[in-house]
Amino acid sequence: MRLVLRETQLSFRRAPVLSALAVTTIAFALFVVGLVGLVALNLQHALNQVEERVEVVAYLVRGTPVEVATVAIGDIEAFPGVESVTYVSEQDALERARQELAEFQDVFDDLATNPLPASLEVRLEPGFRDSENVARIADWLRGFRFAEDIRFGREWVEKLDRLRYIAGIVGLVVGGAFAVASVIIIGTTVRMTVLQRSQEIAIMRLVGATDGFIRRPFLLDGLVKGALGGLTALGLNYAAYSAINQMLRSSFYSARQALLLVGFGTALGLLASALSVGRHLRRVDAE
């Protein structure tokens, strides 16, 4: 193991420019992947915030006693997918309308009677805010005799579902394409390192070194360069996030997600080294 570590250190000393190029290539390749991930992360957060506003509103028949609504609240809250139920009286509905529609204050002042009905606002648990579950809960609420009308904005919820699906597919395709491109770019860079030491590899084969012995320093070299590239990419992503966050409030990776990015860089460096060394050894054997 000490020999392998020494060989890795020597690799950086022998070809500092090539080693720096490999780390920089990995860093910028992962930087792009990381940016795509940040966009996807913040888009998902935005969708989640919009999704939190999804609710089903049951407007009550006029004259429905508060006691009846209170009993119904307990039944509704016990229904799977329901997070909470809020009773809004006729007077509360009018006061809310006055606050939200201040420009129509004169109209409200001229009202002889309150035209707004009482209602039950049903908030849903995460995972039950898609169009199918919302429609299912709305249909169930229609079974209550005092429910005169049920509203939940079907078209708006369905559009939210489609947007979430499209965002997921686009993120997967774009992120996957950049990841594949990263492997190709990193593989080319590592192959340059392998070719630079092709004579050394040939001599090692002549003196009886096994493929595993030859591969080890290259694999560790790729692993170290991948880890350094991943850390550099993480730093660049944070710099980009800090610049954007001053203009547009956004979110950064969690500690676990940051570790995944660095781990991905490490794995890419290891994979690129394994493929490059393996290909070179097969070529040497063929000759």
Question: Given a cut of 70, is residue 280 above it in pLDDT?
Answer: no
Q: Which residue has the higher pLDDT, 109 or 219?
A: 219
Cα dihedral across residues 143, 144, 147, 152: positive or negative = negative
Please report the pLDDT score of residue 122 as a whole number: 92
- Choose between 250 and 228: higher pLDDT: 228
**Span of 23-32, 45-54, 177-186 with lowest mean pLDDT:** 177-186
Q: How many angstroms separate the CA atoms of 185 and 189, rounded?
A: 6
Q: Please state the rounded mean pLDDT for residues 18-22.
A: 76
Mean pLDDT of all residues in the chain?
80
More confident position, 176 or 133: 133
pLDDT in tens, 79-130: 999 998 999 888 888 888 777 777 666 666 666 677 788 899 999 888 888 8
d(CA 19, CA 155): 55
Cα–Cα nearest to 26, from 216, 268, 215: 268
Amino acid at 8: T
As separate numbers, helices (DSSP H) first and strands (DSSP E) second, the chain gives: 10, 4
Mean pLDDT along residues 266-271: 83
All residues at 6 or more sequence positions from 145 whose CB lies less than 8 Å from its CB, including other chains: 61
pLDDT-derived band at 218 (thresholds 50, 70, 90) equals confident
Q: What is the pLDDT of residue 285?
A: 58
Considering the entire predicted model, what is its pTM?
A: 0.65
Model confidence at 11, pLDDT cuts 50, 70, 90, reads: low
- List the domain boundaries for the chain: 2-49+161-286, 55-151
Alpha helices in 52-153 (DSSP H): 66-77, 90-100, 105-109, 131-141
Q: Which CATH architecture has domain 55-151?
A: 2-Layer Sandwich (3.30)
Nearest CA to 152 among 60, 57, 61?
57
In this structure, of 7-16, 53-62, 149-158, the range with the lowest mean pLDDT score is 7-16
